[in-house]
Structure 1
Amino acid sequence: MADTYDILVIGAGPGGYVAAIRAAQLGFKTAVVDREHLGGICLNWGCIPTKALLRSAEIYHYMQHASNYGLSAEKVGFDVGAIVKRSRGVSTRLNGGVGMLLKKNKVDVIWGEATIEAAAKGNAPGRVTVKETSRAPAPKGALAAGSYSAKHIIVATGARPRAIPGIEPDKSQIWTYYEAMVPQAMPKSLLVMGSGAIGIEFASFYRTMGAEVTVIELLPQILPVEDAEIAGLARKRFEKQGIKILTGAKVTKVEKSTGSVTATVETGDGKTQQLTAEKLISAVGVVGNTEGLGLDALGVTLERGIVVTDGLGRTNVPGLYAIGDVAGPPMLAHKAEHEGVLCVETIKGLPTHAMDKAKIPGCTYCQPQIASVGLTEAKAKELGFAVKVGRFPFAGNGKAIALGEPDGLVKTVFDAKTGQLLGAHMVGAEVTELIQGYVVAMNLETTEQDLMHTVFPHPTLSEMMHESVLDAYGKVIHS
C-alpha cells in the first residue's frame, strides 16, 4: 500500500498532533503515525493524569483540615482504586478528544511503528514504512501499516524515563511514573530518586495520601532548575509536611527483598546509609525516543540522544524535521506544541522565528505549587546583569489569607539598567495559573514601569505580582 502526503508526522503527542492539525489548517495533506496512544505521554501517562491524582490529594488534604475553615468532616478516607480510575478516566476522555480533533481537521491517523527509509530529495518525497504494533489497538478509522511517502517528515516521538544501570525499573518494586500513576495499593513508605518536577509531584501526592516519603537528590538543591530561594522555601514546606529530603546524595545500589527495597545512599561527605521502603520511584529524567527510526542511516545529527535542529524544527537532512522532547529541552508539552506550529509554518513559508527558550514557563504541581519563567537571580548575576529583585509574601495578601494559604512568595528579577523583566519565580497556592501574566509581560518586552502602572484586581492572588514589582523598586505598599 502506498500513499503520499505533504506532511507526515511521526508521533501523536502534544507536539505531533498539534503540528498535524496546524498543517491541515494550512492546506497540507497530512497524516500522523502513532503506535500506542493519541495524545502521547503527556495526556495519557504524564501531565494530565498526574494532575488528576494531585487534585484528589488536594481535596483529601482539605477534608482532613476541614476544621480550619469552620467545617466538619468525619471518617475521612480514600479508595486508591477509585482515585486511579478517575485519573485514567480523565486521560481516556481527552484521548478521545484528540482523535476527534484530528478527524475534524481531516488528518489521517496511521497506526503502527514507523521507520524512515528515505528523506525527501529535490522533488522526490521521503518514504516511511509503518509496521503493525501490538502495543495498543488501533483507534477507529486509523489506516493500516504499510508504506507511505511525504514531502516533509516531522519526528515527534517524545521521550521515555531514563534508567540508571543497576537500578532499572521492574514495574513491581522500582517504579517509573507509569507504575506510580496506577498503584494497586497505597504504599506505606516510598523512596523517590530525583527531585525534578516528576519526582516532587509524586513525593507530594504520596505524602499527602499518608506514605512516609524520602526524596534523594544528587545535586545540592531540590528542584535544580528553580531559583535557589524559591526551592529553599519549597523544601521547608515539604519537610514541614513530613517529607524527608537528602541533597548532594547518590543512590549507589538498590537491593530488593519481599515487600521492600533497600537503597544504599552515598552523601557528599563520603558517608553511606541504607534506606528501606516498600517502593522506589526512579525520577531521574527522560531520554529521547530516537531508536528504530532510521535516523543514523539517514545521517541525522544527534547529540546526547536528541535530534539537533535549527530552532525551527529543521534537521541537517532536507525534508526531515524534529520537534518536542526528541528535539531537546525544555522537555515540556507546551514547548512541543509551539515548536510544532513553528515547524509547520516554516514549511509553509510563513514568517517565523525560533522560540526564546528563556520565556518558556515551567510549573510543578506539588503542594505548594512552583512556577517560574526566565532567569533565576543567580543566573542573571552570572550573565553580568546588575539586578533589582522584588519579593512579596503570600502572608501580605488578603486573598491568600482568606483561602487559608498564607505561605508562599512571589519573586521578580529586573535588569537594573533597563527595567527589563529578566525572570519571575513563585511558590504557593495557584502560582501555576499566575505565572502566565509574567510570561506575557516578558514577551511584550514590558518594563517595570508598565507593570507598576497596570491595575490588578482586588482581592486576588495576582496582586502579589504587582507588589513584587513595586518591591524591586522600593515602592511596595503592603509589606
Structure 2
Amino acid sequence: MHETDVIVIGGGTGGYSTALRAAALGLEVVLAERDLVGGTCLHRGCIPSKAMLHAAELVDGITEARERWGVKATVDSVDWPALTATRDDIVARNHRGVEGHLAHAGVRVLRGTATLTGPRSVRVTATAPAGGPAPESREDRVDRVDRVDRQEWTARRGIVLATGSRPRVLPGLEPDGRQVVTSDDALFAPGLPDSVLVLGGGAIGVEYASLHRSLGARVTLVEAADRLLPLEDADVSRHLTRGLKKRGVEVLTGARLESAGRAADGVRAIVRTARGETPELRAERLLVAVGRAPVTDGLGLAAAGLATDPRGFVAPADWTRLETAVPGIHVVGDLLPPPSPGLAHASFAEGMLVAEVLAGHSPRPVDYAAVPRVTYSSPQTAAVGLSEAAARDSGRKVVVNTMPLTAVAKGMVHGQGGMVKVVAEQDGPVLGVHLVGPHVSEMIAESQLVVGWDAEPSDVAQHIHPHPTLSEAVGEAFLTLAGRGLHQR
C-alpha cells in the first residue's frame, strides 16, 4: 500500500490543473490517467479542432480576398495530410508541455485505470494508452509516466474525480470513424468528405459545420430546438444562423431525426421538420454532436459510498468546495452537473479551487455566472452572463442595447456583420454581454470582468477603447446605456 497527500483520477484539464496547483502548494500528488494526459480537450477536442478552424479561417480569407478585395487568388486544393500533420504537431508539442509541467512540479503520473476501493483508497491497474493524434512514438508518450501492473494507494488529504466525458451516440448507429463520427473522431476520419450531415446545433455541431464548409464540403446542420445554440441569447442564435446560411450551410432548426442508416455512398437520414415535412438527407459522412455524457464506468463509486445522479453526474454536496457527500472526495470538470458548464477553462478554475481546499486554504467559489462561453465558428460567438430572456425571467427590470459591428469602421473593414448586445439591470450592474462576429473570442475577456465585478454601464463608459477596433463597438454599446451615446442613439 502506497500513501500520498492527494490522488487525482483523470489527467484532463480539470485533473492536471488540480495536480499542478496542489503540488505548487506543497502537497504530494499522484495522478492516474488511463490514456494520455491532457484528456479530450488536448487530444481530440479543443486544441486540434481550433487548429483546423484556424486553417479554415485562412481558406475563408483567400475567398474574401478574391471576392471582396480584388486579390486574384484561389484555393487549388487542401492538402489533407499536410493540414493534419501541422495539427498533430501542435497537439504533440502541447502534450509534451503538459507532461513537462507535471514532471517539473513533482507530480507522479501513473499510466492506468484508477478505481475507488474506499473513501480514501484507490487501486490503479495498468492500461495501454488508447492512442490519439500525437505523432510521437508510443514509448515517447510514456517517458514521463510510471507504468504499473497494479498498485494500491491511500490519500491523506483527499481524492479528486476528474474522469471527464464522452460523446453521446445514436442507438443502433455506432460511430465507425468513417461514415458515422463524433467530435472525438471527426477530425481524424480519413480525408475531407464532399458532404456532411451534422446532427446537433450546439457549440460543437456549429463549429464542425463551419469547419467543413470552409474546407469545401456541402453541409447540412440539423437541430431539434427552434434555434441554433439554444442555451445562448436569441439574438446570438439569429445572427449566427444568418452568417452560416450566407456561407452556404443549410440550417434546419426544429427538425428531429426520424431514422438514419448507412448506405453504399455514405449515410441517409429522415428528419421531421418544423413544418411536418420528412425529407431524406444524404451525405458522405454523419457527424453526431448531440452532447456529452460523464464517464464513471469502472470508477467504483459505490465502494466509496457515492452514486451518480439520474443524469450520470457526480454532484457535490458543497459547491463552494466541490466536495461530495463523502468528506475528502472532490469532483471537477465534466463529471459536475450544471451550473458547471463543462468547459475546459471552467475545469481549470475548478481544479485550482479544489487543490487550494485540499491544501487548507479558503478560496472563493467558482463564479459560474461569469464563465465566458465561446463558439469558434465563422462567425464566432462569445457570451458571458445572462441572456435577455433569462434576465427578464429573473424578475429584474432590464435595459438592453444592441449595436451592429458594422456601425464602427473596423466592422465595415471585416464586412462580416455581427453585433454587441449588453443586458443590464435598470440603474444597476451589467448582467450579460453577447457578441457575434469576427474574432469575438478574443474580445470577451473584458466583458467577463465587467460581469464578474458587477460593473455598471457607466463604469465601463469611463474607459476608452482604441480606434479603429472591433472593441469600439463594445465601448459604444456601454456608452449608449450610460446615456452618453456618440455614434449610436
Give the shorter-chain TM-score range. Answer: over 0.9
Whichever residue aligns with residue 130 of structure 1, its letter is T
More deviation in 449-458 or 426-435?
Answer: 449-458
SS across alignment from 1:7: strand
SS across alignment from 1:58: helix
More deviation in 268-277 or 358-367?
Answer: 268-277
CA distance in 1, matches of 2:436, 2:443: 11
Q: Tell me whether 1:93 sits opposite 2:100 in the alignment.
A: no
> What per-residue deviation string (whole Å, max 9, x for no partner) do you get for residues 84-139 of structure 1?
2211111111000000000111111100111111112xxxxx23333333525461
Cα distance, 1:186 vs structure 2: 1.4
Tell me if the contact between 2:119 and 2:303 (Cα under 8 Å) persists in the aligned partners: no
2:289 corresponds to = 283
> What per-residue deviation string (whole Å, max 9, x for no partner) do you get for residues 422-452 of structure 1?
0000000111111110101222221111111
CA distance in 1, matches of 2:277, 2:438: 37
Cα distance, 1:298 vs structure 2: 2.3
> What per-residue deviation string (whole Å, max 9, x for no partner) do you get for residues 407-431 of structure 1?
110100000032x010000000111
Tell me if the contact between 1:261 and 1:278 (Cα under 8 Å) persists in the aligned partners: yes
Q: 1:365 aligns with which of 370, 373, 376?
A: 376
1:433 corresponds to = 442
1:104 corresponds to = 104
CA distance in 2, matches of 1:299, 1:267: 46
CA distance in 2, matches of 1:344, 1:476: 46
Cα distance, 1:362 vs structure 2: 0.3
2:134 corresponds to = none
Cα distance, 1:70 vs structure 2: 4.6
Q: Tell me whether 1:416 sits opposite 2:419 in the alignment.
A: no
SS across alignment from 1:220: coil
Cα distance, 1:406 vs structure 2: 4.5
2:135 corresponds to = none
CA distance in 2, matches of 1:80, 1:470: 47
- 1:307-318 pair list within 5 angstroms: 307-309=314-316, 310-311=318-319, 312-318=321-327
Tell me if the contact between 1:167 and 1:253 (Cα under 8 Å) persists in the aligned partners: no
More deviation in 158-167 or 337-346?
Answer: 158-167
CA distance in 2, matches of 1:341, 1:45: 23
Tell me if the contact between 1:392 and 1:471 (Cα under 8 Å) persists in the aligned partners: no
2:24 corresponds to = 25
> What per-residue deviation string (whole Å, max 9, x for no partner) do you get for residues 163-221 of structure 1?
12233322221110133112322111110000111100000010111111111101111
SS across alignment from 2:279: strand
- 1:293-312 pair list within 5 angstroms: 293-303=299-309, 304-309=311-316, 310-311=318-319, 312=321
Which blocks of at least 5 consecutive residues in structure 2 are unaligned? 132-137
1:446 corresponds to = 455
Tell me if the contact between 2:14 and 2:162 (Cα under 8 Å) persists in the aligned partners: yes
Q: Tell me whether 1:42 sits opposite 2:48 in the alignment.
A: no
Which blocks of at least 5 consecutive residues in structure 1 are unaligned? 121-125
More deviation in 126-135 or 159-168?
Answer: 126-135
SS across alignment from 1:272: coil
Cα distance, 1:374 vs structure 2: 0.5
Question: How many residue pairs are counted as aligned between the two chains?
Answer: 471
CA distance in 1, matches of 2:466, 2:441: 18
Change (3 A) 1:305 1:129: same
SS across alignment from 1:306: coil
Runs of 4 or more consecutive aligned structure 1 residues displaced over 6 Å after TM superposition: none
Whichever residue aligns with residue 335 of structure 1, its letter is A
Whichever residue aligns with residue 260 of structure 2, its letter is V
CA distance in 1, matches of 2:243, 2:410: 20
Whichever residue aligns with residue 145 of structure 2, its letter is A
CA distance in 1, matches of 2:42, 2:22: 21
Identity of aligned residues (%): 36
Tell me if the contact between 1:113 and 1:133 (Cα under 8 Å) persists in the aligned partners: no
More deviation in 299-308 or 407-416?
Answer: 299-308
SS across alignment from 2:188: coil
Cα distance, 1:62 vs structure 2: 1.1
Say what the alpha-carbon RMSD is for the aligned residues: 1.5
With the length of structure 1 as denominator, give the TM-score of the two structures: 0.95
SS across alignment from 1:116: strand
2:329 corresponds to = 320
With the length of structure 2 as denominator, give the TM-score of the two structures: 0.93
CA distance in 2, matches of 1:406, 1:212: 21
Cα distance, 1:302 vs structure 2: 1.8
CA distance in 2, matches of 1:9, 1:300: 16
Tell me if the contact between 1:84 and 1:183 (Cα under 8 Å) persists in the aligned partners: no
Q: 2:415 aligns with which of 401, 405, 416?
A: 405
Tell me if the contact between 2:465 and 2:472 (Cα under 8 Å) persists in the aligned partners: yes
Cα distance, 1:71 vs structure 2: 2.9
Tell me if the contact between 2:385 and 2:433 (Cα under 8 Å) persists in the aligned partners: yes
Tell me if the contact between 2:56 and 2:215 (Cα under 8 Å) persists in the aligned partners: yes
2:219 corresponds to = 213
Whichever residue aligns with residue 127 of structure 1, its letter is V
CA distance in 2, matches of 1:229, 1:28: 47
Q: 1:342 aligns with which of 350, 353, 357?
A: 353
